[in-house]
Chains A and B, each alone.
Chain A
């Protein structure tokens, strides 16, 4: 089994190399010249020539790539063309913001998704189950950005209950921090809640049929005790594994949500960087996201192995 895990880790190397080549090439191919924008309204040709040279934009793309990846391997991600800030610093600055958003979204999703899933599993086939399913699918179907602007309109503009944007570091002012983040986290959490609900439901259905639950029922235990203590506990593991996997999706979902609510996190950083052709930032951030995504997948795979002895023997 350890050789399997070792192999899994080894394959991530070519994957990462491919990601880096891929994102590097793609954005070098993007139309638009960041130097023209950077040179300012006057576009002094001397400055343009100097900046091209400085950021090595005259080199052939493969040379540029090797130069960049060589620096990255030494921990130097380059600097933002737009603000001259080191990319690594930007990543360190933005990562906690997006993680806070993702964690809050996950908590909201779990608070809604898991109870709903349990409930509809117990009431399988009834109207309640049916309605819960429609609601869950609605959560999956509503466009995040639309939900976001509608909430801003209703909650911030019309009712004035919550701030429409902004970010407060969690440790500076927890109350304000949560206050500003709750709406975006809800928006981000809706789709997730739906996915969680559906998986909880099917995991519960599987467990409710199992012998030990029948035995527990036969012993005359209260239904609620049966559901919570016996069934849910056993359904929990696959749900947790799934949640880890969904974290990757959360990061992707944060892209537009952060844009709508003006949250200075990863998503906003990267979208603005793509539009500004801020090469080093796009490369650095996508690489980091990919690493995070791959690690999450790896952990989920390994966790799965440990949870399923049957699978463990196979590999």
Chain B
């Protein structure tokens, strides 16, 4: 009875708010619960994971990925590398338009790449740093010339760096584009109330409009997982992302709900300060054996069971076990307390106190407390230093930490999960691990477009890194979506995005 009233009210509301744009009764609305409130909505300035979820509906990219991480055309219909790997020619889709009516063409791509590379506020510079020039070689063809071969570039185009915004709007609004993004995706931006909602409506001139069966999308940031699920159950939401793993069982058992999951591209681990300032001068930072002992004291499988009820994926590498880049020759070591103790002893310690900082949210604290309890059995006394996220990052980049439990949201190309963390000059190498051999391997891997060649390089790097352990990887999260059984056609992607193509609401 109650559900009926709500549904009726919602339908009335949908019709009322959207006004003439939507044709009355048949209007299909999707209400999506997000874990956080996105940041500024400009693909060039944006930095949050959750923001990308909104872009998946608003902004088309040059290329997209399949659930198996193959690169497929989106705004670019085809591309070709030159033999030396220094030029990339892309053919562009004809007939695509931006939400403001500006046609999508080669000039638009050039303007976008230039904006990403030169706007001072742009967070995309490092992702596109290999591009030297962008040339318009036809009305719908562009040619990128690179300074050095860069195998990761195509994958960058599958994310924010490849999102195309209207050049007209960009010129007009500058940095303020983030208040009202104008792209060429299946939905156009209607309104945003910070911390409350982001409303989109179907873009009638979308090039692939036939695949879009939803007329209006509302994203509602609801940080509390219990509340988010309660809203789904009551019918106030149709779909939610990042369901808490302990809730998975009850969702699977509920016939009015359905469930989808995908192993994420990212990881959670303990970054160890090995050479970042004075704080690195401690047994954990200076002696790889101590780090190996820490790794051996942790039962990652049990950790996964205790905190995530087995829903996540224990791992010891930057990529999950289902990834083609996973190195089978350095598998996840089983827990071995005796060996851990022996290693500690070899390093000259019976007991050892280390401190690890962690963001002060309940789940990460729970993970850390499990690690703490496990490490204690091997004689490692982990002092947990709970910190707000803003302070955690500062301490990490300033080298003001011994260990820091953080995660990485993951990138499609393997390079994105390892290069910037493990190379001497890597932009986010907070452990300041520096090994010329690794630098050489990772740089070579970046330059080859032959995946078999790259794999060999990454595997070789793994062999060293699995002993040196500047990061002790713990697990790869699983993206979990829960939705009303009315929602059909949802596909789970390892990048955690919600793609609305082919999604129907009955």
A residues lining the B interface (CB < 8 Å): 31-34, 36-47, 50-51, 54, 80, 82-85, 90, 93, 152-153, 156-157, 160-161, 163-167, 172-173, 175-176, 260-262, 264, 268-269, 272, 275-277
Chain B residues in 8 Å Cβ range of A41? 47, 408-409, 428
Within the assembled complex, what's the spacing in Å between the Cα atoms of A262 and B231? 11
Contact residues of B between 405 and 433, Cβ < 8 Å to A? 408-409, 420, 427-428
Chain A residues in 8 Å Cβ range of B393? 32-33, 36-37
Task: Indicate if the CB atoms of A272 and B195 lie closer than 8 Å.
Answer: yes
Chain B residues in 8 Å Cβ range of A39? 47, 123
Task: Indicate if the CB atoms of A47 and B122 lie closer than 8 Å.
Answer: yes
Chain B residues in 8 Å Cβ range of A45? 427
Task: Indicate if the CB atoms of B123 and A157 lie closer than 8 Å.
Answer: no
Q: What's the minimum C-beta distance from B295 to chain A, rounded to whole angstroms?
A: 24
Given contacts A42-B127, A84-B176, A85-B179, contact A157 B427 (CB under 8 A): no
Given contacts A36-B393, A41-B409, A42-B123, 11 further A-B contacts (CB under 8 A): A33-B393, A45-B427, A83-B194, A153-B226, A161-B2, A163-B236, A164-B226, A166-B222, A173-B9, A175-B9, A275-B389
B227 in the interface, Cβ–Cβ < 8 Å? yes
Chain A residues in 8 Å Cβ range of B428? 41-43
A/B pair count, beta carbons within 8 Å = 141
Task: Indicate if the CB atoms of A152 and B230 lie closer than 8 Å.
Answer: yes
Task: Indicate if the CB atoms of B47 and A38 lie closer than 8 Å.
Answer: yes
Chain B residues in 8 Å Cβ range of A37? 47, 389-390, 393
Chain A residues in 8 Å Cβ range of B175? 84
Chain B residues in 8 Å Cβ range of A54? 120-121
Chain B residues in 8 Å Cβ range of A32? 388-394
Question: In the complex, which residue of chain B has the Cβ closest to the Cβ of A264?
Answer: B196
Within the assembled complex, what's the spacing in Å between the Cα atoms of A19 and B327? 58
Chain A residues in 8 Å Cβ range of B226? 152-153, 157, 164
B73 in the interface, Cβ–Cβ < 8 Å? no
Q: Which of B13, B41, B47, B397 has the most chain A CB atoms inside 10 A of its CB?
A: B47
Chain A residues in 8 Å Cβ range of B323? none
Question: In the complex, which residue of chain B has the Cβ closest to the Cβ of A277?
Answer: B390
| The 6 residue pairs across chains A and B that have the minimum distance between CB atoms | A32-B390, A40-B47, A264-B196, A32-B391, A164-B230, A40-B123
Q: What's the minimum C-beta distance from A42 to chain B, rounded to whole angstroms?
A: 5
Q: What's the minimum C-beta distance from B194 to chain A, rounded to whole angstroms?
A: 6
Task: Indicate if the CB atoms of A164 and B390 lie closer than 8 Å.
Answer: no
B146 in the interface, Cβ–Cβ < 8 Å? no
B93 in the interface, Cβ–Cβ < 8 Å? no
Task: Indicate if the CB atoms of A164 and B234 lie closer than 8 Å.
Answer: yes
Within the assembled complex, what's the spacing in Å between the Cα atoms of A32 and B179? 26
B488 in the interface, Cβ–Cβ < 8 Å? no
Write 6 A-B pairs (CB below 8 A) sorted by A numbering: A37-B389, A37-B390, A40-B47, A42-B420, A163-B236, A164-B227
Within the assembled complex, what's the spacing in Å between the Cα atoms of A233 and B397? 65
Task: Indicate if the CB atoms of B227 and A44 lie closer than 8 Å.
Answer: no
Report B25-66 CB contacts with A as 1/0, cut-off 8 Å: 000000000000111110001110000000000000000000
Chain A residues in 8 Å Cβ range of B196? 167, 264
B243 in the interface, Cβ–Cβ < 8 Å? no
Task: Indicate if the CB atoms of A36 and B397 lie closer than 8 Å.
Answer: yes
Task: Indicate if the CB atoms of A42 and B195 lie closer than 8 Å.
Answer: no
Task: Indicate if the CB atoms of B227 and A160 lie closer than 8 Å.
Answer: no
Chain B residues in 8 Å Cβ range of A44? 123, 125-126, 427
Within the assembled complex, what's the spacing in Å between the Cα atoms of A270 and B464? 47
Within the assembled complex, what's the spacing in Å between the Cα atoms of A275 and B391? 10
Task: Indicate if the CB atoms of A264 and B397 lie closer than 8 Å.
Answer: no
Question: In the complex, which residue of chain B has the Cβ closest to the Cβ of A158?
Answer: B230
B335 in the interface, Cβ–Cβ < 8 Å? no
B17 in the interface, Cβ–Cβ < 8 Å? yes
Task: Indicate if the CB atoms of B409 and A156 lie closer than 8 Å.
Answer: no
Within the assembled complex, what's the spacing in Å between the Cα atoms of A245 and B408? 48
Chain A residues in 8 Å Cβ range of B38? 83
Task: Indicate if the CB atoms of A157 and B233 lie closer than 8 Å.
Answer: yes
Task: Indicate if the CB atoms of B194 and A80 lie closer than 8 Å.
Answer: yes
Task: Indicate if the CB atoms of B222 and A90 lie closer than 8 Å.
Answer: no
Chain B residues in 8 Å Cβ range of A80? 194
Q: What's the minimum C-beta distance from A182 to chain B, rounded to whole angstroms?
A: 14
Task: Indicate if the CB atoms of A160 and B47 lie closer than 8 Å.
Answer: no
Given contacts A31-B391, A44-B123, A84-B178, contact A166 B409 (CB under 8 A): no
Task: Indicate if the CB atoms of B397 and A43 lie closer than 8 Å.
Answer: yes
Task: Indicate if the CB atoms of B220 and A166 lie closer than 8 Å.
Answer: yes
Report B219-230 CB contacts with A as 1/0, cut-off 8 Å: 011111011001
Task: Indicate if the CB atoms of B227 and A264 lie closer than 8 Å.
Answer: no
Chain A residues in 8 Å Cβ range of B408? 41
Q: What's the minimum C-beta distance from B32 to chain A, rounded to whole angstroms?
A: 13
Within the assembled complex, what's the spacing in Å between the Cα atoms of A152 and B221? 17
B4 in the interface, Cβ–Cβ < 8 Å? no
Chain B residues in 8 Å Cβ range of A277? 390
Task: Indicate if the CB atoms of B195 and A268 lie closer than 8 Å.
Answer: yes
Task: Indicate if the CB atoms of A166 and B231 lie closer than 8 Å.
Answer: yes
Q: What's the minimum C-beta distance from B165 to chain A, rounded to whole angstroms?
A: 15
Chain A residues in 8 Å Cβ range of B420? 42
Task: Indicate if the CB atoms of B427 and A43 lie closer than 8 Å.
Answer: yes
Question: In the complex, which residue of chain B has the Cβ closest to the Cβ of A261?
Answer: B227
Within the assembled complex, what's the spacing in Å between the Cα atoms of A80 and B195? 13
Task: Indicate if the CB atoms of A82 and B39 lie closer than 8 Å.
Answer: yes
Chain A residues in 8 Å Cβ range of B39? 82-83
Task: Indicate if the CB atoms of A269 and B195 lie closer than 8 Å.
Answer: yes
B452 in the interface, Cβ–Cβ < 8 Å? no
Chain A residues in 8 Å Cβ range of B41? 83
Within the assembled complex, what's the spacing in Å between the Cα atoms of A39 and B37? 17
Question: In the complex, which residue of chain B has the Cβ closest to the Cβ of A80?
Answer: B194
Within the assembled complex, what's the spacing in Å between the Cα atoms of A115 and B83? 86
